[in-house]
Amino acid sequence: MRIGVIGCGYVGLVCGISFANMGHQVICSDISAEKITSLQSGNMPIKEQGLAELLQKTNRQGNITFTTDNVQTISESETIFITVGTPSLPDGSADLSYLWSAVRQIAAYLQSEKSGKKLIVVKSTVPVGTCDDVATFFAQQGIGGDKVIDVIHNPEFLRQGNAVHDFLFPDRIIIGCTSAESKEIMNQIYREIKAPIQFCDRRSAELIKYAANTFLAMKISYINMIACLSDKLGADISEVARGIGSDPRIGTSFLQAGIGYGGSCFPKDLLALLKIGEDHACELPLIEAVAQINNQLPGYLLEKLEEQLGNLAGKRIALLGLAYKPMTDDIREAPSLRISGRLQEADARIQAYDPFVKDNYPISDVHLFASAEECVKDCDAVIILTEWEEFKQLSLPALTQFMKNPLIVDGRNIFSIQQIKEWALTSTFTYVSVGRPTVS
């Protein structure tokens, strides 16, 4: 099938390259000339596991092209996926300006050209009713069923860091469309992927995406709320999480206590759902609490640091991990930003190491190092902010030898208390984590 993808970010690239790899003819466009130039020369502008290799393989097959010209994408494809960003506006609602810009270009093309019929698939996460609005807009522009088969919603559930795998092996594919013709096209597009497809109306599909993300964020905030209580009670949140998670009605995933969630999706999708609720006079107190708990966590972790160090002015603090999660270089809404901002306010000296974030960190006072060992050298404390596998393999007795003061604040609970206690038998350090007793 001839597929167009508008927006070459994490979702657009994974989706476009994967579709091309399945044998579809794909054209992807983006307004960022830098990204497109990089892609045209075979280089991957984002860090996403397996994606650069998949692009190389796909380039050899010759069925993917990249352009800065959305009109070319629109004209050359039968099905157009819109995968542009939908970030937060100051009032929390989703900024749909990128989406509407793409929609207007599609409409202009369909009005002016003798094109065949096209299926418009909104893959970006959009407020409920957006696809209805897009369909109404086309109708108002005089663009009828002879030009647009349908406007449908196909939310994406990939996790950055595992995006290629998640796209190729999803738990389910949600498609908000009701017409037989668009269902048939989507079945063809996804024919290689062995996952159940749930067809539903597009409003439900739009709500499914928000409900899924806010539910996962709720699990994280729930365990973090219990972790704060666990700190007061002298319990071990890892044991608590294991104990409740082994009940299959609860499940073990997303029950890792720590500094909380970040990234380009959970924070903005929570805010957007709250705004949707407000606009429809429907209070969502649970979602408000989820966001509130998450917002308090950086301050909570820094209180633990101050309990150990006192005034932070002039103290040298090492941050291990800047990305919001492992296996990505994405720092959007990463907890590291809040932590570094607060440390900067406190006049601390900040050093950091992240395996993927090597430059372009927006807080200039954060000095980046090439390894964990170099980063912690002469520091008064180290704070672990991303659960990189590389950090899980560190030996704390060895690492703390480089430090001025052997204090570890583990914002991701990456070490078991048992391991820490074993190390503490032969080595001197203080280990502070979230929802678990301090070991020193």
Helix (H, G, I), strand (E, B) or coil at 396: helix
Position of tokens 């190092």? Answer: 369
Region class of 361: left (phi > 0), else alpha (psi between -120 and 50), else beta = beta
Residue from 67, 124, 230, 351 touching ligand NAD (CB under 6 A): that is: 124
Binding status of residue 63 toward ligand NAD by CB under 6 A: no
Q: How far is CA 269 from the centre of its chain?
A: 11
Q: Which residues of 94-133 are buried (b: 16+ CB within 10 A; e: fewer)?
A: bebebbbebbebbbebbeeeebeebbbbbbbbbbbbbbeb
Site string for ligand NAD, 141-180 (x = CB under 6 A): ---------------x-x-x--------------------
Residue from 37, 43, 101, 428 touching ligand NAD (CB under 6 A): that is: 101
Tell me the closest approach of the beta carbon of residue 79 to ligand NAD, in angstroms.
Answer: 16
User: Which listed range, 98-106, 186-194, 302-310, 367-375, lies at the site for ligand NAD (CB under 6 A)?
Assistant: 98-106
Binding status of residue 32 toward ligand NAD by CB under 6 A: yes
Binding status of residue 18 toward ligand NAD by CB under 6 A: no
Residue 7 vs 406, nearer CB to ligand NAD: 7
Q: Which residues contact 355 (CB under 8 A, 6 or more apart)?
A: 388, 390
Tell me the closest approach of the beta carbon of residue 345 to ligand NAD, in angstroms.
Answer: 28
Tell me the closest approach of the beta carbon of residue 126 to ligand NAD, in angstroms.
Answer: 7
Tell me the closest approach of the beta carbon of residue 340 to ligand NAD, in angstroms.
Answer: 22
User: Which listed range, 3-11, 129-137, 367-375, 412-420, lies at the site for ligand NAD (CB under 6 A)?
Assistant: 3-11
User: Which listed range, 53-61, 83-91, 252-260, 292-300, lies at the site for ligand NAD (CB under 6 A)?
Assistant: 83-91
Tell me the closest approach of the beta carbon of residue 285 to ligand NAD, in angstroms.
Answer: 24
Give the side-chain half-sphere CA count within 13 A for 278.
11
Residue 119 vs 126, nearer CB to ligand NAD: 126
> Which of the residues 131, 265, 375, 379 is marked catalytic?
265
Residue 8 is among the residues annotated as catalytic for this protein? no
How many binding residues for ligand NAD (CB under 6 A)?
27
CB count within 10 Å of CB 55 equals: 21
Binding status of residue 9 toward ligand NAD by CB under 6 A: yes
What DSSP assignment string belongs to 97-138?
A: HHHHHHHHHHHHHHHHS----EEEEE-S---TTHHHHHHHHH
Residue from 30, 236, 380, 410 touching ligand NAD (CB under 6 A): that is: 30
Binding status of residue 276 toward ligand NAD by CB under 6 A: no
Q: What are the two backbone dihedrals, phi and then psi, of residue 317, each rounded to the nearest 5 degrees?
A: -115, 130
Position of tokens 């594919």? Answer: 173
User: Which listed range, 27-35, 174-182, 297-305, 385-393, lies at the site for ligand NAD (CB under 6 A)?
Assistant: 27-35
Closest-CA residue to 19 (of 7, 41, 1, 45): 1
Binding status of residue 86 toward ligand NAD by CB under 6 A: yes
Residue from 5, 265, 327, 414 touching ligand NAD (CB under 6 A): that is: 265
Residue 267 vs 355, nearer CB to ligand NAD: 267
Binding status of residue 85 toward ligand NAD by CB under 6 A: yes
Binding status of residue 236 toward ligand NAD by CB under 6 A: no
Q: Which residues contact 102 (CB under 8 A, 6 or more apart)?
A: 6, 7, 70, 82, 84
Closest-CA residue to 318 (of 410, 428, 234): 410
Binding status of residue 51 toward ligand NAD by CB under 6 A: no
Q: Give the C-alpha separation, 154 to 136, whole Å.
A: 18
Residue 182 vs 264, nearer CB to ligand NAD: 264
Residue 58 amino acid letter: T
Q: Give the C-alpha separation, 305 to 261, whole Å.
A: 20
DSSP H/E element including 304: helix 285-309
Residue from 22, 74, 102, 237 touching ligand NAD (CB under 6 A): that is: 102
Q: Give the C-alpha separation, 85 to 344, whole Å.
A: 30
Residue from 4, 7, 298, 355 touching ligand NAD (CB under 6 A): that is: 7
Binding status of residue 121 toward ligand NAD by CB under 6 A: no
Question: In whole angstroms, how large is the CA radius of gyration of the chain?
Answer: 24
Helix (H, G, I), strand (E, B) or coil at 154: coil
Residue from 4, 10, 324, 406 touching ligand NAD (CB under 6 A): that is: 10
Closest-CA residue to 27 (of 4, 7, 6): 4
Both tokens of 76, joined, read: 């050359």
Binding status of residue 6 toward ligand NAD by CB under 6 A: yes
Q: Which residue ranges make up the site for ligand NAD (CB under 6 A)?
A: 6-12, 29-32, 35, 70, 83-86, 98, 101-102, 124-125, 156, 158, 160, 264-265
Positions marked active-site? 265
